[in-house]
Amino acid sequence: MARMTIRVYRMDRHGTVTEDRGIVSVLPGDEPPPATSALPPCACQRCRGLRTGPDHGIHADDEAPTLGTVSMRAAASWLLDQPTLPGRETLRLFDQDFRLFLSLVIPHIERMTGGRPEDDATVQAALAGVGEARRRLLETGSTGLTTEFERVKRVASSVMALCDHFEALIGNGAADHERLP
């Protein structure tokens, strides 16, 4: 019986390993994880339910959301660097992950900018990025693979931009305890 083994560990946003679960084996016939590159939410009952909307909890002790920016930036960067067209299913999965990430990070950035001076350049840039991401989320899919690739690349660009804005807001003292969903 073939088995897959992986090493499972958690890192903080600086790349330091904070938890090492060691080698984990997966046997054939085990239920596969969902087809997504996004990280799972924390283990609490509230987060395991509906993951979007105002009721989604952001937990101060949750390290996975910080890694979410790293993995989403890596996924967006990979897609943007592709010299050839990926397959339709690959594009669909990236689009799904990017849209979920944006639907969670947009309101989070808006909360982080609230109460800060309107003339703050970091706030203005972040809100401009949020506006552009919202416009890109409204674009409809295409039946043509090349056109669809270009649309998903625009969404990926918004993922990269909002990761940058999130990190800039944290760097400027906007709620250091906040984490991305």
What's the pLDDT tens digit per position in 27-79? 666 555 444 444 444 444 444 443 433 333 444 343 334 447 888 888 999 99
Q: Count structural domains, the chain.
A: 2
What would the mean pLDDT of 136-151 be, rounded to a whole number? 92
Based on the domain organization, do 6 and 93 belong to the same domain? no
99's CB contacts (< 8 A; 6+ apart) are: 137, 155
Planar angle of CA 172, 177, 179, nearest 5 degrees? 95
Domain range for 161 is 36-171
The predicted pLDDT at position 146 comes to 93
Based on the domain organization, do 84 and 17 belong to the same domain? no
Question: Would residue 116 count as lying in a domain?
Answer: yes
Residue 179: CA count within 13 A, CB half-sphere? 20
Question: Would residue 180 count as lying in a domain?
Answer: no
Based on the domain organization, do 26 and 100 belong to the same domain? no
Mean of all residue pLDDT scores within the chain: 75
Based on the domain organization, do 25 and 84 belong to the same domain? no
Q: What is the CA radius of gyration of the chain?
A: 18
Q: Is pLDDT above 60 for 108? A: yes
State the Cα–Cα distance between residues 166 and 109, nearest whole angstrom.
6
Residue 89 Cα distances to 1, 92, 102, angstroms: 30, 5, 20
The predicted pLDDT at position 130 comes to 95
In terms of Cβ atoms closer than 10 Å to its own Cβ (0-12, 13-18, 19+), residue 101 is buried
Least confident of 45-49, 90-94, 165-169: 45-49
Q: Is pLDDT above 50 for 140? A: yes
